[in-house]
Structure formats: structure tokens, C-alpha cells
Amino acid sequence: MDVQQLIDRAEIADAITRYTLAVDEGDFDRLDTVFTADAHIDYTESGGVADVFPVVKAWLAEALPGFSTHRIHMLGQISYEFAQGGDEAAVAAYFHNPMRIPSGPGGRDGERVVEVGGLYRHAFVRTTDGWRSKRLHEQVVWTRGF
């Protein structure tokens, strides 16, 4: 592994962290620094949508605040497989995402915690603005509390 690949790994890890912070904090415009404009994102395994980035970004901004106002991602291992030439990488990042959601009709029974665990499978590409994901598939491995 050379120095450039270490730098590339750090920049990709930063992009994945920006993704989780944007979702957790509801700062969906920050996602523009994570994805290419034509990226394809697939959240169907967790009950979400699959579409191009602008459609999914709008869906996240509409759906997530109504689902949970308390989100936090924890990331684990990250696997990188760089294509020959080094300008594309298949990346898998383990995640654990507990969320507090209203319990009962209208939240009258308080809140409960639901959890999702799995892998974010990205296809990253080097752009003039840095590393960006051109594809994300959220692979759900387990859930609890739903």
C-alpha cells in the first residue's frame, strides 16, 4: 500500500462519516459532499426507496424527521477494494443505527428504541471535488424493536 492509497482511504472514510452525520443531524444538503449528482441509492432492505440521489435526498428530508428525531450511527470496520488505476473503489462499512421513535398512536406511550445493523456498500469514484459515492446499497443484516 502506498501513501496515496492511505490518503484515499482516509478521504473515503471522511465521506462516509459526513454521510452519517448528515443523516443523523438532518443536514441533508451535506449529502451533496458525499454523492455524485447521478448516484443511485437503495434503502429498500430497510423499507425505504431506491432511486437517484436527488430523489432519495428529498425522500430522506421528508421521511426521517417524521420517523425519528433521535438518530445516531456508529461505524465499524471499513473494507476498501480499489480498481486498477485507483480512481474507483468498492467500499463496505459496518454500521449500527439505534433510533428513538414515538411509541403508540401519536406517541402517547412515550418512546422506544429501534435498531438497524448492517453494511453500507458503496461504489466510490474520484472526482475533481474528491471522492464521491456513485452507488450506495444499504444491506440490512439485523433489526431489533420494530
The C-alpha atoms of residue 27 and residue 111 are separated, in whole angstroms, by: 23
Please report the pLDDT score of residue 106 as a whole number: 64
pLDDT tens by residue, 22-52: 999 999 999 999 999 999 999 999 999 999 9
**Residue written as grid cell 485507483:** 86
**35: which DSSP letter?**
E
52: number of Cβ within 10 Å: 14
pLDDT tens by residue, 59-100: 999 988 876 667 899 999 999 999 999 999 999 999 999 988
The grid coordinates of residue 80 equal 476498501
Please name the amino acid found at residue 124: F
> In the chain, where are the structural domains located?
3-144
Under 8 Å between Cβ of 60 and 47: no
Radius of gyration of the chain (CA): 16
| 133 burial via Cβ count (<10 Å: 0-12, 13-18, 19+) | buried
With b for 16 or more beta-carbon neighbours within 10 A and e for fewer, the 27-46 pattern comes to ebeebbebbbeebbbbbeee
Q: Using 50, 70 and 90 to split pLDDT, how confident is the model at 107?
A: low
The C-alpha atoms of residue 146 and residue 136 are separated, in whole angstroms, by: 23
Q: What angle do CA 135, 133, 3 make, to 5 degrees?
A: 135
Please report the pLDDT score of residue 110 as a whole number: 79
* Residue 55 predicted with pLDDT over 70: yes
The C-alpha atoms of residue 130 and residue 137 are separated, in whole angstroms, by: 20
CATH topology for 3-144 is Nuclear Transport Factor 2; Chain: A, (3.10.450)
Please name the amino acid found at residue 40: H
